[in-house]
Amino acid sequence: MGKILVTPRSLSKNGHPYLEKIKEAGHEVLFSTPGVQPSEDELLKLLPECTGYLAGVEKINSKILDSAKKLRVISRYGTGTDNIDLVKAKELNIIIKKTDGANARGVAELTMAHILAAVRSIPMHDQAMKLEKWERVMGIELGGKTLGLFGCGNIGQMVARLALAFGMTVKAFEPYPDKKFSEPENFSYSTMDEVFKCSDIISLHCPPSSDGITLINRESIEKMKQGVYIVNTAREGLINSADVIAGIESGKIAGFTIDAFDTEPPTNWDLAKNRKVVATEHIGAFTRESVERMTLFAVDNLLSALDEVKGK
């Protein structure tokens, strides 16, 4: 019936039984280079012959979309759509689907792992021990501390619940607060400035601004507490890396963590190499359970949308 391009790195490298559902529906499955984020050139080569696209985090710009004359559906393997030119997609009547909630548990648990790793300097201590050095760094406890969230959707809400279980107070900035989500104690929605000013730890769970203005930059860092920890398991585009490094060097930022980069692997390693930075390789949703849920949701979304198009 048509060709379907599959590009998420875990799927292009290892495949998945749920992809058989696409073949059973009569479609041919194409893969980008196994385990590698596809380039613009590769997408320009592969997409023009495809009616469906099960997409990862690679940039899908207007040039790519214009070249894909047969494309009807993009099913995102994840929840973010900031990598897609949505205006062009709408202009071309391309349906966009995403796997809301499928990776929330995996990203939320990694966020807490990042927080604990940062406040107790676990990577630094581990590295010292492997070098047969004894270099203890004093940490802090989470109980009684304030966690500030930017974004309180599926992932942010789960992070809030986990943080509350540690005895933290949680304040969240969310432009569209979910009135159904409320905790009886120690959780509240707050203004952006209040979250910046009162948080001991700040965690990011929102998309980057469409205008390119970063959320974490020199001006916002100045509003924060001395010795703040910042956790970014969302997007690199939310931060100004140079300002973060300057904040670390000045002591304003006690620790920083990051899981997702604009280019993967990154082309600039300065942030990841900093001793006070915990960096991981975009593993937030890279758990057995999240991969299962996201693959199933993404495949079902793709097939149902293609059926919808076919029925028109």
Active site residue 249: no
- Is the domain of 94 the same as that of 182? no
- Is the domain of 128 the same as that of 205? yes
Q: How many structural domains is the chain composed of?
A: 2
Q: Active site residue: 40, 42, 264, 292, which one?
A: 264
Mean pLDDT of the chain: 95
Q: Is the pLDDT of residue 183 over 80?
A: no
- Is the domain of 113 the same as that of 47? no
- Is the domain of 136 the same as that of 268? yes
CATH number for the domain harbouring residue 175: 3.40.50.720
Grade residue 288 by pLDDT with cuts at 50, 70 and 90.
very high
- Is the domain of 131 the same as that of 205? yes
| Strand ranges in the chain using DSSP code E only, listed in sequence order | 2-6, 27-31, 52-55, 73-76, 95-97, 146-150, 169-173, 187-189, 201-204, 228-232, 253-258, 277-279
Backbone torsions φ then ψ of 169, nearest 5 degrees: -95, 140
Token representation of residue 112: 């807490």
Q: Active site residue: 16, 27, 105, 235, which one?
A: 235
Show Cβ contacts of residue 182 under 8 Å, excluding neighbours closer than 6 positions.
Answer: none
Q: How does DSSP classify residue 84?
A: B
Q: Which residue has the tokens 């009569």?
A: 26
Cα distances (Å, whole numbers) of residue 119 to 123, 142, 253: 11, 8, 11
- Is the domain of 148 the same as that of 16? no
* pTM reported for the whole predicted model: 0.88
Question: How high is the pLDDT of residue 94?
Answer: 97
Is 264 in contact with 57 (CB distance < 8 Å)?
yes
Is 218 in contact with 243 (CB distance < 8 Å)?
yes
d(CA 280, CA 258): 6
d(CA 8, CA 55): 6
- Is the domain of 148 the same as that of 292? no
- Is the domain of 268 the same as that of 299? no
Question: How high is the pLDDT of residue 312?
Answer: 64
Active site residue 275: no
- Is the domain of 80 the same as that of 170? no
User: Range of 17's domain?
Assistant: 2-100+288-311
Is 52 in contact with 28 (CB distance < 8 Å)?
no
Residue 3's nearest CA partner among 41, 33, 47, 65 is: 47
Grade residue 34 by pLDDT with cuts at 50, 70 and 90.
very high
- Is the domain of 258 the same as that of 305? no
pLDDT in tens, 102-159: 999 999 999 999 999 999 999 999 999 999 999 999 999 999 999 999 999 999 999 9
Average pLDDT over residues 74-95: 94
Q: In what order do the strands lie in the sheet with 146-150?
A: 187-189, 169-173, 146-150, 201-204, 228-232, 253-258, 277-279
- Is the domain of 237 the same as that of 294? no
d(CA 276, CA 283): 19
Q: Active site residue: 282, 289, 292, 308, which one?
A: 282
Q: Is the pLDDT of residue 235 over 80?
A: yes
Question: How high is the pLDDT of residue 1?
Answer: 72
Q: What is the CA radius of gyration of the chain?
A: 21
d(CA 6, CA 73): 12
Average pLDDT over residues 265-294: 94
Residue 197's nearest CA partner among 176, 228, 168, 167 is: 228
Average pLDDT over residues 19-45: 96
Beta bridge partner(s), residue 128: none
- Is the domain of 246 the same as that of 145? yes
Active site residue 282: yes
